[in-house]
Structure 1
Amino acid sequence: MVAKEILFPAPVATRGLTGFPDILFDVAEARRVVEAMRLPVVRSDHAWLEAANLLMLAQASPCPVHVEAAGKALSRAIAAEHREHRAVPSNRRWAIAA
């Protein structure tokens, strides 16, 4: 049996994130990508963990409130990732190694 698609109220733009499609439309796809691309990475932070947890909840209990909360958490994690990339200087690795 194929699971029914659980669509976000508004698509979530992910343009610019490595390994992500430009737009995520449904909860199952978003969960697969987040678990594959962000959770295993050491630099993942609480925003990605929150998004993953809320995506799992939305997939298990697809009421509109859970789906909307998961989409918002995913958007927050993406925004934080974009801010972090703009704020980190290209020579940051040298500062950490020193």
Structure 2
Amino acid sequence: MAEQYLKSKFGMTPSTAIGWFRAGCAFFRKNQYQNSVDCLRRSAALDPSNAEVYQVLGRAYISLKQTDLAVAALKKAVSLDAAADWQLLVELTGGKSKEGG
């Protein structure tokens, strides 16, 4: 969905993890959360070590009311040392987060 939009609007799609991340952030700011998720997942596939991707991805999933996916994304962000996401993760899980990423 996001890829089709980007091709029709700009005539191309990103070719790097950072390009997909920036597109995902742009869609997030425009409240186009499913497009944001599509882009962020592409970014994560290209660079699975970028904690920021999982931070924004978690927030996009929250906006889509997909709590389980949000928790998984935020756990990944925390596992990559994104300490700021601990609080959001605790709020989503009620402090009962299972171990694992």
TM-score range, shorter chain: 0.3 to 0.5
Whose strand fraction is larger, Structure 1's or Structure 2's? 1
TM-score, normalization: structure 1? 0.33
**Structure whose residues are more often helix by fraction:** 2
